[in-house]
Structure formats: C-alpha cells, structure tokens
Structure 1
Amino acid sequence: MSTDDVVTVNGTPRSLAAARPESNALDWLRAIGLTGAKEGCAEGECGACSVLLARPGIEAETEWVALNSCLLPAASLAGQEVVTSEGLGTPADLHPVQSELAVRGGSQCGYCTPGFVCSMAAEFYRPGREDFDHHALSGNLCRCTGYRPIVEAAEALGAPDQADPLLRRTTSAAPAASPTRAEGWIRPAHLAEALEALAEPGAVAVAGSTDLGVEANLRGHRPALRVAIDRLDELRGLVVGEESVQIGAALTLSEVERLLAGRVPLLAEVFPQFASRLIRNGATIGGNLGTGSPIGDLAPALLALDASVVLVSAEGERTVVLADYFTGYRQSVRRSDELIALVRIPRPLAPDVAFHKIAKRRFDDISSVAVAHAIEVREGTVSRAAIGLGGVAATPIRASEAERLLVGASWSPEGVAAAADALADAGTPIDDHRASAAYRRAMLGQSLRRLVASS
C-alpha cells in the first residue's frame, strides 16, 4: 500500500486505491462501510454528510474542522486524517456530543444526526471555547426536531476531558499535504509545479471544491485534471500592513475571519452571513472570486474596499483592480494558466461600513441582493463613498453613480435621497425564483436609507 493513497479514517489506515477518479469523499466513505454520513442535497446545504478533518491549527497544532464530504474529492484525502460519526463513539461508549443529543431528544428520524454530531464535535474541540457558537451548526438542517433539543444539547456540552484522544491529538502537528498524483488529480508541492500543471489541457485549479463539487454532483461537470492548490504555502499568507491588507488566495474564509480578528470590519460583517461554517471551512477567498459568480457575497464587499487581485502565472504576475476583474457572467480577465495569488485591500479603511444581504434564509442561503457600503463622513458631509453590489447584474459591480452623488452630500435622509434613488437604478436586475427585479431595486435604495437611519 503506497503512502500516497492512504488516509487515516477513525484511526485506521485505509487505501484510496479503489476510489474512482470522480468519487467524492462521501461516496468513498460509504463504499468502505462507513454509512453514518449521508447525502441529503449534494451541494453543501444540508450538512448531513459532514465529517471531521485534522487541519493545521491557528490556536493549536491541529484543529478538528468540519467539512461537507459530498463536496470533497476523495483524492484530496490522501495522507490526511478523517473522523466520521462512527469514530467519535459507540453505542456502548457514546461521545459527549452523542450522549447529549440522545438524552435531550435531539434526534428523531436520525438522517441528519451524524452530520450534526460532527459539526458539534468540531465546536466541542475548538481551542479556547467558552460558550457554544451556534454558527457551528448553521450548515446543518433538520426537518424533524425544530432544532430546540439540538441547541439544548449543544449548550449543555462542557469541556473535553483532558484524556480525550481527539483533544490530545490537537497538541501534535496535523498531517502535511504530501504531493500526490492520481488519475485526473494532482497535488503539487510548490506553486511553480501548480502553474506548470495548469498548462495541461483541461486542467482546473481546485481548493475547497465548494463550487466545483456542486458542478460535479449536480451537473456531471468534471475537469480532465484537478490541480489542488489549497495547501500551497505561497498562497496562504496574511499580512496586515500600514498601507494594505494582503490575504493569500488559498486561505479558507474561516481562517481569514479568525486571522483578521475584526481588523477589516466590513469583512467581519460578511463572514457570518456567507453560506455556513461548513462551507467557510473549505471555501477560499481566491476560489470565491475565481468563480466569477454575480451572487457571491464576498465580491461586493471587496469592491467596496477598493480591493485588487494579484494574478500569477509561469510568465510572472500582474495586479488587477477588482472593479476591472469581472468581464461577464462568470467570466473575468484571468487566463486559464493564471491563479489568483492574493487579494490586496488598501488602507486606511473607510470607517463607516455595512453589509446588507437579502435572502430567504438568514444564513446558509444565496443572496437575492447584496450591498456593501464603505463610507467616510466628516463633519456631517460624505467625503468618501464606495458601494459594491451583487445579484443585480451579470457581474458584481460598483454603484458608481450613487457614489458620485454621495460625495459632498450631507449624511442625512434628505441628503442621501438622490444617491438612494440612483442606487435603486443601478445594474440590470432580473426576475427569477429568488426575487423580482422590482423587489431588488427597492432593496437597493432601501439599503442606503437604512444605513443612514442607523448611524
């Protein structure tokens, strides 16, 4: 058995050799008899498939991270450590999470329970945890319980026992991301090798696979070669300097949120509303921009922050202002042989910020409209204004006319009225299953009025 195709599952080495090239982690786990994780949606919305992976930590050597196994390529598990609900406890010796759910009636039909168990366990082992963060469960759906007994079980959890083997595992280094190659898959050792692989026909970069996994599961779209870039050191730095904040493109959104620790307030407003923690644990800042989606939550905020992206290829690198990056529906100036290496946000930051997301659900949902404001007001007059929009055009856009009307206007309901009207006319919103064009326009104008009223 080659170490290149071995993954440790619940403490036991298992070979990936029999995994089909198109297999996701969920299918592979169920094929080897671990059927606790379930497929509920195949797109990362329900959390029934969640499992724990050992990842390099921020506050500990290793942290247990919950991820949607339905989106992860099975090949990405090579050399890694996975714990499923079966590995947490047994009927005769329940894990504390399983015990609390059982005692408090947190399971009825049971289909979603293994996923809840893994998401709760990740929070149970979170370094420095004092109270249970309910956002840990934002990506898990239940049709039976009404959630109350699940929340009660979560809030009843104490601290892990010091002898708990999964807690003790966090004190030693996480598995390295060893270079591997399999049919349709490569994990390069360095950025230069990744760029070389991307020159191959049909090659596509993959990090958290939160978008590509959906395309594979629901539409059967599978690239000829997936180039894993999520663990490349060259793409995982974060620097907060005097002139800019630089964020490595392969950092997950959960990592960026924790590393920034509120130092970019507008992003701090976005992160809790971006999908769910299960998704944010895998999704990367570069991947979110790389897909070019017009309804992504991150792009409007980064547009309002005047961000730029650094694109890198074998020929060198270039910097593109984000406002010039998107060219059409899911299209951009990035060439197929280029990667987003980092996102750069200039400083100083505008002091008055807000992110308004209109969606059918508060969390774990796609925006109908997203509006990001970055405003500076001096002595009652707007001196600086940047507004990023999502869901109202074929690409994320800046509301340039509203920005122009804001600068020099008084920061009052009357003073911003013209800008609010211009904001309502921004973009080319459409009628679809999420919202009508008229509703989207109304929400755009209301967003600015709401911001003024709350300041």
Structure 2
Amino acid sequence: MEALEFSINGRLIRERDASPNTTLLAYLRGPLGLTGTKEGCAEGDCGACTCVVADPVTASFRAVNSCLVLLPMVHGKQVFTVEGLADRGALHPAQKAMSEHLGSQCGYCTPGIVMSLFEATYRTDLDEAWKLDDQLCGNLCRCTGYRPIREALVEVAGTRPNDRFSRLLAAPAEVEKAGLAYQAQGERFATPTSLSELFGVLEREPDAVLVAGGTDLGLEVTKRFRRFPSLVSLEGLAELRHIEVGTERVRIGAGVRLSDLESAVRSVLPPVERMLRFFGSRQIKHRATVGGNLCTASPIGDLAPILLALDADVVIAGPLGEKRLPLSKFFTGYRKTAVGRGEVLVAVEVPRPDPADRVVAYKVSKRQELDISTVSAGLFVRLDTERRVSIARFGFGGMAATPSRAAHTEAAAIGQIFDESLMKALGETLDRDFTPIDDHRGSAWYRRRVAKNLLLGFFHETSRAAAPRLEHRPTATVCAEVLPWK
C-alpha cells in the first residue's frame, strides 16, 4: 500500500493509516500535536487555521486554509505551521512584527495571521496598496483591531530576508514527484498524472468523486460530516494548469488556481481580474480552480457571469475525445453541468475583448471581502459608429437556478443608442428573463432592484471620459503613509 509522504516544518512524514477524508488541520492538531494551528470556523472564513505550503513551480509560499485541505492533497509537498518559523529560539520577522506592533490580544487568531504575514514576507509582487489588504482579507480578528496587524504586515511585506526559507524557495526540496494511489480505512484517494490515467481510474471507479482545489468538497467533510469512499484529485494533471494567451483568445486550463489566473490575465482580461479581486480570500484563491468554480454549477458562482458576458467556450474531455460548447449551454440545471460520466472539464476559452468594447464585472454582497454573492453580473456591449448597440451579453448570477444570460434584455438592446434611458428600459426587461427567489442573502425584490441598478451603473461607469480608478476597497491610512514603494 502506498504511503503519503510530505514534510511538516522540515520533518519528513510517511503516513499509511490516516483516512483520505482527514483534513490537514485535524492531522496537525491530532497525531502531530501541533496545536498552534487553530480551528475557528471549519469552512475557510476565519483564517485561524492558515498554514503555508511551498510551491516549487512558482518558487513561492502559498497560504491555505488547512481546514479545507484533505491530507492526501499535501502528498509530496512541504508544509509550514506557526511552530516551524522560529530559528533556534529567534522569532521569525513575521512573529516579531506582530509582537512589537501589539497585534495580538486573545491570541486565538494570531497563528493564522502570522502565517499570512509569513507568506507576505517572501512575496515579490507587492507593488500596490490593495494587495496588502488582499493579503489579510482571509484572517478575522475580533478583538485587536486591524491597524496594528496592518502595521506589522507593512513592516515585513516583500522584505525577503536571506534566511532558510528564501534559500528553500531558491532550491526547493521535493518530497515526491509522482502521482498517488492511497488507501486507508476502506477509503481511496488517487492523483493521476495524465488524462489517459485519469480516464482509466474513472473507468475502474465510476462512482469516484472528482476534486480540484477542494474548497467546496472540504465543506462537505467539515460541515456535513460526509466521508467519500473514493476521491480522484485533478491536481496532478499539469496539462490542466496552463494559460495560453493568443492574439484572439485566452485558453485557461481548468486546473488553474484562481490566484494564478488573477495575476496572469490582468492585462488581457481585465474584467476577469477585477472579479477575482473580490472573489474570496488569498487562502481560498490559492486552492480554488477555474474548473472547480464552474463545475460546482452554483447559481451564485462569481466567475460564470463575466465569462458568459465574454462569450466563453468550455472544453470537455472524455475517453473518446474532446467536445466544445458555449458556456451558456454548460449549466443544464441547478448544480448540474454538461460534463458526463467519465468526463472532465479541461479548459475554458475566452475571446479577448476589443479595447473599445465596454465590459465590466460586478459582485454585490454584504461584505466586500470573502463573502458569497447576492447578485453578480458580467455586462458587455459593443457599439457601432453611431453609438448603437451591435452586441450585448448580460450574464447574471443569483437571479436563477443557474448562472444565465438575460436573453430578452440582450435582444432589446440591439440597435438601440447606448444611453441612460436605454439602460433604464432594459432594467424593466430583466423581469422577463429572471424570477429570483427570496433567501437569507436577499429577497427577490432586492435582487431585481440590484440587477437593474447594475445595468444603470454599467452605463455610467463605461461612459466616463476617463476610466475610473478601480479601488479594491478603502485602503488603511497606515498603508498610504508607510508603504515601502511610495
């Protein structure tokens, strides 16, 4: 029987008995006795369980929610917890900064925050103020207040000291390169390394559940206490992690992590990057994938509306080959997709918008950071020389059982002059496209009102003489005062 192999704080672990449904958090706090990593919410919201995984491909550290990471997912990886940062009694700069800036009171959230600061210490891309807010948006603190924590972050962010961690990133020690076929306690976890191998596994185990980043599936384990008899991970499929930027289209592998997508498409698909800023925490985006977000088929998924507006196609592969279809036909019902038994989503292809096109992504939620959408939208229009709409695509989430385009509203826009009166009229047409429901995130009336206002806001935002400056969220005074690049 194959063993799991990984390292925790430099200590090599070989595990043969743990259930594949065990979370990394449970393993750290249980068998290893590393109780510095805390459980706060068990759903990836609070950040108390934050650990860091070394990524040899990008030579970077990635903060993750250990409550949502299943133990086999760290096979072949190096994991660091708060206990592993100090060097022979000397605090790591992230720990020292938190202490000196008085960033801790009750202390329960502190280890997770320290690990987010640890990741920030070695980042090479902290070139804008909003990225500091993004670094901490996945860590909640209920008693200290965030100013001293931000001050600690500003002190260490991007400093990259010449220490053992920097040397590790320069020459990472790989624990194991191969895939995985792990079995324990009557449960199985496989990580194939090619599509042909994947199809073979699915043929032998047709009832196996596919898992990508695990941010959704992890909730099934921690909140609904499900145990999956057979799991097949897509993380070993390098062919699903590529982004190919062409002159007309961008092909995005289904296994691309959202944090990688965010940085890769900023100049070629700005509306997608804008949505990803508000998608979730850095910890979540380090695990969640493009394919996973689409294949959950959530009616309030954040990526689908803007991809619908951009007229994206999806590529699905199976033992008999590939098939391509518009994303608008991908969602076949509530939480259902066109991916058949034994098939897998392999890529999303997105046409690059013309610089003159007007396209914006919106997300409306109760909080700016790390929240589930009430309504999300991707809005696209192309105008002719007389400012008449020649193409209109309006994708919405939170308005129906699936992410959907507003077909009647799009048709009503064609040939009309793009102005405020048109958008007000189109807002009324939306009632023909959607019949939203009441739930705890918003009433049907509220969702309709928000959707109409987004159409109107879309006109005003895209009609300004100069493009508005995109603010990720209000930036703390401390960031503006002492950012090292200011």
Q: Which residue pairs with 1:307 in the alignment?
A: 312
Q: Which residue pairs with 1:72 in the alignment?
A: 69
Letter in 1 for 2:424: A
SS of residue matched to 1:66: strand
Q: What is the distance in 2 between the residues matched to 1:335 and 1:29?
A: 37
Matched, 1:285 2:294: no
**What do residues 290-349 of structure 1 show as CA deviations (whole Å, max 9, x unaligned)?**
111111100111111111111111121111211011111101121131110000112444
Q: CA deviation at 1:377?
A: 2.5
**What do residues 396-421 of structure 1 show as CA deviations (whole Å, max 9, x unaligned)?**
00011111122222121113222121
1:123-272 matches, within 5 Å, as 123-130=120-127, 133-157=132-156, 159-160=158-159, 162-173=161-172, 175=174, 177-183=177-183, 184-199=188-203, 200-272=205-277
**What do residues 119-139 of structure 1 show as CA deviations (whole Å, max 9, x unaligned)?**
121121112445662201111
- 1:374 alignment partner, one of 375, 380, 383: 380
Q: Which residue pairs with 1:110 in the alignment?
A: 107
Matched, 1:18 2:17: yes
Q: What is the distance in 2 between the residues matched to 1:360 and 1:91?
A: 45
**What do residues 410-452 of structure 1 show as CA deviations (whole Å, max 9, x unaligned)?**
1211132221211255322111110010000000100011111
Q: Which residue pairs with 1:356 in the alignment?
A: 362
Q: CA deviation at 1:92?
A: 3.5
Q: What is the distance in 2 between the residues matched to 1:158 and 1:196?
A: 45
SS of residue matched to 1:416: helix
Q: Kindly report the root-mean-square deviation, in angstroms, between the aligned alpha carbons of the 2 structures.
A: 1.8
Letter in 1 for 2:422: G
Q: What is the distance in 2 between the residues matched to 1:303 and 1:330?
A: 17
Q: Is the 8 A contact 2:278 2:369 kept in 1?
A: yes
Q: CA deviation at 1:358?
A: 1.1
Q: Which residue pairs with 2:51 in the alignment?
A: 51
Q: What is the distance in 2 between the residues matched to 1:434 and 1:18?
A: 42
SS of residue matched to 2:256: coil
TM-score, normalised relative to structure 2 = 0.89
Letter in 2 for 1:370: S
SS of residue matched to 1:320: strand
Q: What is the distance in 1 between the residues matched to 2:83 and 2:449?
A: 49
**What do residues 188-236 of structure 1 show as CA deviations (whole Å, max 9, x unaligned)?**
1222111221231421111110000111111123332111112311211
Q: CA deviation at 1:177?
A: 4.2
Q: 1:159 to 1:302 in 2, by over 3 A?
A: closer
Letter in 1 for 2:24: A
Q: What is the distance in 2 between the residues matched to 1:53 and 1:380?
A: 50
Letter in 2 for 1:392: M
Q: CA deviation at 1:267?
A: 0.2
**What do residues 338-376 of structure 1 show as CA deviations (whole Å, max 9, x unaligned)?**
110000112444721111211110010000000111222
Q: What is the distance in 1 between the residues matched to 2:283 and 2:435?
A: 32
Letter in 1 for 2:429: A
Moved over 4 A (4+): none
Q: Which residue pairs with 1:427 in the alignment?
A: 434
Q: Which residue pairs with 2:425 in the alignment?
A: 418
SS of residue matched to 2:422: coil
- 2:341 alignment partner, one of 336, 344, 358: 336
Identical aligned pairs, as a percentage? 41
Q: CA deviation at 1:158?
A: 5.6
Q: Which residue pairs with 1:407 in the alignment?
A: 414
Q: What is the distance in 2 between the residues matched to 1:64 and 1:124?
A: 10
Letter in 2 for 1:286: G
Q: 1:10 to 1:123 in 2, by over 3 A?
A: same
Q: 1:226 to 1:3 in 2, by over 3 A?
A: closer
Q: What is the count of residue pairs matched by the alignment?
A: 451
